[in-house]
């Protein structure tokens, strides 16, 4: 399969949050999200409570998928950066480590140039963390050391979800 399952652990989760919080400050951004290419929100910081983050994540991934499809049609591998300009707020969307999407929402207190510059640096840091994360879950899988929470799941557990 093209993308192995994404598994997030505490340690890396903290590191990732530290990177995007720094990016939020340095880029003067309002909100930052990290989204899985499949549309699942990984984490976010800033004024997240003002937004419907789940919908935002799903639409961002749809957006990246659609522009990725466009890119292939013209012979590009992907468009790694998208920028949407609004009247007040703007969105800077970029692909990190080939599989996660970094979304930066900013207004006139920042600028596209500043955001691009800071995103570039943060992307490198995030790539390294996601690289380690992937390695870690592969190692855990190999050694059979999966503390997988669903190993003991029963029919009743699932039925209860729908009751």
Partner 1 sequence: MSFINYASREINCKIVYYGPGLCGKTTNLQFVYQKTAPEAKGKMISLATETERTLFFDFLPLALGEIRGFKTRFHLYTVPGQVFYDASRKLILKGVDGVVFVADSQEERMDANIESVENLRINLAEQGYDLDKIPYVVQYNKRDLPNVVSVEELRRELNPTNVPDFEACATTGEGVFETLKAIAKQILFDLKKGK
Beta bridge partners of 32: 45, 104
CB atoms within 10 A of CB 79: 15
Q: Report d(CA 11, CA 67) in Å as an integer.
A: 33
What three-state secondary structure class fits 44? Answer: strand
Give the single-character DSSP code of 98.
T
Per the document, the length of the chain is 163
> Is 66 a residue that touches partner 1 (CB under 8 A)?
yes
Mask 99-118, x = binds partner 1 (CB under 8 A)?
--------------------
Tokens 């609004």 belong to residue:
86
> Is 42 a residue that touches partner 1 (CB under 8 A)?
yes
> Is 146 a residue that touches partner 1 (CB under 8 A)?
yes
Task: Provide, rounded to whole angstroms, the least separation between the CB of residue 28 and partner 1.
Answer: 27
Residues interacting with partner 1, by CB under 8 A? Answer: 1-10, 13-14, 36-40, 42, 52, 54-55, 58-59, 62, 65-66, 68-69, 141, 146, 148-153, 155, 157-158, 160-162
């Amino acid at each position: 399969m093209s993308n192995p399952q994404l598994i997030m652990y505490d340690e890396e989760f903290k590191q990732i949050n530290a990177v995007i919080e720094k990016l939020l400050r340095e880029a003067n951004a309002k909100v930052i999200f990290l989204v899985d290419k499949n549309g699942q929100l990984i984490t976010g910081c800033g004024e997240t409570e003002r937004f419907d983050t789940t919908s935002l994540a799903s639409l961002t991934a749809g957006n990246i998928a659609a522009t990725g499809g466009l890119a292939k049609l013209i012979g590009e591998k992907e468009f790694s950066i998208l920028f949407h300009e609004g009247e007040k707020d703007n969105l800077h969307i970029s692909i990190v480590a080939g599989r996660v999407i970094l979304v930066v929402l900013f207004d006139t207190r920042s600028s596209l140039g500043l955001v691009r510059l800071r995103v570039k640096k943060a992307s490198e840091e995030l790539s390294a963390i996601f690289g380690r994360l992937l390695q870690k879950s592969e190692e855990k899988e190999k050694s059979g050391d999966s503390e997988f929470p669903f190993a003991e799941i029963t029919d009743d557990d699932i039925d209860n979800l729908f009751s």
